[in-house]
């Protein structure tokens, strides 16, 4: 391990590190290992933007299609100043393994623009989104590549993408998921990732003998994933005792009142200043002793440095790629189980699949039906990962990659590659 860490890995190298280990455990021949590891198609486009104040700025947008052996490419669009090709490749690869793991008929993709949407007006954001959509249009399609929201994008951005794509290709609600309900979005899509996190947390608590009733939960990130996970976990009997967002951290050992916190965030756009809690430096969030720790903000946050103060019985990865391989190894040595991202946060893409299906058949399901179908998919995936982990005596992350790689390999072979 030390040998490998003489230099810091990039995000894509980190994902491939895990992939290579799992592929080796499965005995995949080198030629297939490489075909399934590398990306199929990578687009980089220039996006000039005239700001409302007349200033001309230049951004770059990316769409990476990693693997389409099992179906159309599927993955979110991220708006963040740090978006770059390596990160998009890493996230696209994770989507391949995630869609295969929950056994939905999609491949893996990801996209993004290196902009700061918080500094933009709605007009600027709409212009940028439409320009980006036009420039990657040739790679999209309802049976080719279907974007969705990710960090700093939402239903509104998806509506603009759908509208722009439709100008050239005709009315096509199935071209994006995570749309507003009024434009063909699915009931239950907004809360799906957080609900999926809660489902797997309940299964893992049973397996690791952690009583959910009164379990102390700590969450990094209170956006879509973190806030919905908090709501569902409290409904399941847990106590969320500490949360951090980009601005601040808060703690209350008796349990934070999540409905009041949601009302506070709706108004203030941050958890900072929430009255019924003590302040906590946001970077100390991982040091709060708890039963369940949920990183649900950004990738690369748990490293060989930040792993040290962690005092928890279980980690559920709400975010994508939050733990680097070095920290993952340290957690394994310390006996702290990790439910990996490709399983834990797969609820979002699973309901995206339900949304796409509903768009294609023009028949819509109610929220109860969506949640029931989601539970069944997550439950099956969790069981398969657990059984693979027991059979090969490997951590859940390795087991999850192994289940997923086997499915992608089977599809690749059947296509005659
Ligand atoms: P979001 O933009 O809604 O929320 C992100 C949250 O992280 C915000 O509360 C923000 O304040 C917080 N944050 C940012 N920087 C931080 C920092 N340095 N310290 C503490 N908190 C910080 O994003 P989201 O949709 O909730 O996505 C979060 C993660 O989950 C990402 O890794 C994303 O790829 C992953 N994910 C999201 C979905 C989904 O359906 N939204 C599905 C699968 C995976």
Q: What is the pLDDT of residues 5-57, one digit of tens each?
A: 556 899 999 999 999 999 999 999 999 999 999 999 999 999 999 999 999 99
**d(C-alpha 174, C-alpha 185), whole Å:** 9
Q: What is the band of 202 on the pLDDT scale with cuts at 50, 70, 90?
A: very high
Region 138-152: mean pLDDT is 96
Q: What is the band of 417 on the pLDDT scale with cuts at 50, 70, 90?
A: confident
The answer to whether the CB of 314 falls within 8 A of the CB of 205 is yes
**d(C-alpha 49, C-alpha 125), whole Å:** 9
Query: Hey, what's the torsion of the CAs at 179, 184, 187, 191, to 10 degrees?
Result: -10
What's the 341 CA to ligand 1 centre distance in angstroms? 13
Sign, CA dihedral 188-189-193-194, equals: negative
What's the 267 CA to ligand 1 centre distance in angstroms? 19
pLDDT of 3 > 70? The answer is no
* Atom number, ligand 1, closest to the C-alpha of residue 91: 34
pLDDT of 334 > 80? The answer is yes
Of all protein residues, whose CA lies closest to atom 16 belonging to ligand 1? 246
**d(C-alpha 91, C-alpha 88), whole Å:** 5
What's the 22 CA to ligand 1 centre distance in angstroms? 27
Of all protein residues, whose CA lies closest to atom 42 belonging to ligand 1? 348
Region 274-294: mean pLDDT is 97
Token pair recorded at residue 328: 């993952």
**d(C-alpha 220, C-alpha 283), whole Å:** 10
CB of 323 shorter than 6 A to ligand 1: no
What percent of the chain is modeled with pLDDT above 70? Answer: 98
For residues 313-347, b (16+ Cβ closer than 10 Å) or e, as one string? bbbbbbbbbbbbbbbbbbbeeeebbbbbbbbbbbb
* Atom number, ligand 1, closest to the C-alpha of residue 78: 34
Token pair recorded at residue 173: 């609600």
Region 345-372: mean pLDDT is 98
> Considering 110, 179, 282, 313, which one is annotated as catalytic?
110
pLDDT of 280 > 90? The answer is yes
Which candidate, 320, 343, 399, places its Cα nearest to that of 203? 343
239 classed as catalytic: no
Region 303-319: mean pLDDT is 97
| Per-residue model confidence (pLDDT) at position 4 | 52
* 215 Cβ neighbours under 8 A, 6+ residues apart: 205, 233, 237, 238, 239, 291, 292
Token pair recorded at residue 247: 């601005």
pLDDT digits (tens, 9 = 90+) for 366-386: 999 999 999 999 999 999 999
Q: Would you call 258 helix, strand, or coil by DSSP?
A: helix
pLDDT of 2 > 60? The answer is no
What's the 349 CA to ligand 1 centre distance in angstroms? 15
Query: In Å, what is the CA distance from 80 to each residue of 201, 220, 373?
Result: 29, 18, 32
Region 94-104: mean pLDDT is 98
Region 202-228: mean pLDDT is 98
The answer to whether the CB of 161 falls within 8 A of the CB of 176 is yes
CB of 153 shorter than 6 A to ligand 1: no
| Per-residue model confidence (pLDDT) at position 152 | 93
CB of 191 shorter than 6 A to ligand 1: no
Q: What is the mean pLDDT of the chain?
A: 96
pLDDT digits (tens, 9 = 90+) for 122-131: 999 999 999 9
**d(C-alpha 107, C-alpha 353), whole Å:** 11
Site to probe by mutation for ligand 1, drawn from 91, 197, 220, 225 as the one with most ligand atoms within 8 Å of Cβ, is: 225
| Per-residue model confidence (pLDDT) at position 66 | 98
pLDDT digits (tens, 9 = 90+) for 64-84: 999 999 999 999 999 999 999
What's the 195 CA to ligand 1 centre distance in angstroms? 15
Of all protein residues, whose CA lies closest to atom 28 belonging to ligand 1? 297
**d(C-alpha 260, C-alpha 394), whole Å:** 41
């Amino acid at each position: 391990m030390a040998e490998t860490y003489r230099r810091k890995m990039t995000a894509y190298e980190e994902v491939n590190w895990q992939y290579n280990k799992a592929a080796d455990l499965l005995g995949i021949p080198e030629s297939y290992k490489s075909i399934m590891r590398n990306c199929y198609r990578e687009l980089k486009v220039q996006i000039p933007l005239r700001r409302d104040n007349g200033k001309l700025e230049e951004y770059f947008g990316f769409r990476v299609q990693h693997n389409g052996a099992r179906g159309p490419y599927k993955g979110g669009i991220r708006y963040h100043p740090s978006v770059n090709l390596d990160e998009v490749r890493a996230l696209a690869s994770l989507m391949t393994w995630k869609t295969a793991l929950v056994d939905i008929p999609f491949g893996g993709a990801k996209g993004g623009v290196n902009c700061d949407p918080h500094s933009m007006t709605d007009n600027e954001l709409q212009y940028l989104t439409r320009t980006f959509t036009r420039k990657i249009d040739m790679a999209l399609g309802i049976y080719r590549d279907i974007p969705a929201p990710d960090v700093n994008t939402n239903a509104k951005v998806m509506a603009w993408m759908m509208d722009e794509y439709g100008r050239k290709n005709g009315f096509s609600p199935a071209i994006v998921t995570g749309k507003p309900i009024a434009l063909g979005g699915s009931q239950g899509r907004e809360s799906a990732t957080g609900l999926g996190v809660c489902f797997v947390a309940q299964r893992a608590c049973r397996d690791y003998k952690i009583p959910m009733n009164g379990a102390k939960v700590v969450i990094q990130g209170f956006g879509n994933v973190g806030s919905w996970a908090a709501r569902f976990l409290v409904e399941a009997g847990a106590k969320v005792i500490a949360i951090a967002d980009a601005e601040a951290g808060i703690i209350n050992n008796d349990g934070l009142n999540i409905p009041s916190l949601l009302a506070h965030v709706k108004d203030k756009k941050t958890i900072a200043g929430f009255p019924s809690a003590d302040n906590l430096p946001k970077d100390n969030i991982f040091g709060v002793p708890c039963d369940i720790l949920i990183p649900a903000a950004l990738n690369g946050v748990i490293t060989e440095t930040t792993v040290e103060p962690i005092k928890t019985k279980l980690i559920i990865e709400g975010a994508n790629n939050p733990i680097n391989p070095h920290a993952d190894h340290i957690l394994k040595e310390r006996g702290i189980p990790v439910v990996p991202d490709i399983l834990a946060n797969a609820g979002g893409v699973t309901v995206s699949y339900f949304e796409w299906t509903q768009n294609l058949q023009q028949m819509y399901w109610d929220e109860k039906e969506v949640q029931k179908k989601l539970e069944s998919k997550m439950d099956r995936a969790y069981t398969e990962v657990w059984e693979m982990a027991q059979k090969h005596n490997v951590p859940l992350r390795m087991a999850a990659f192994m289940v997923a790689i086997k499915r992608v390999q089977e599809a690749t072979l059947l296509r005659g590659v």
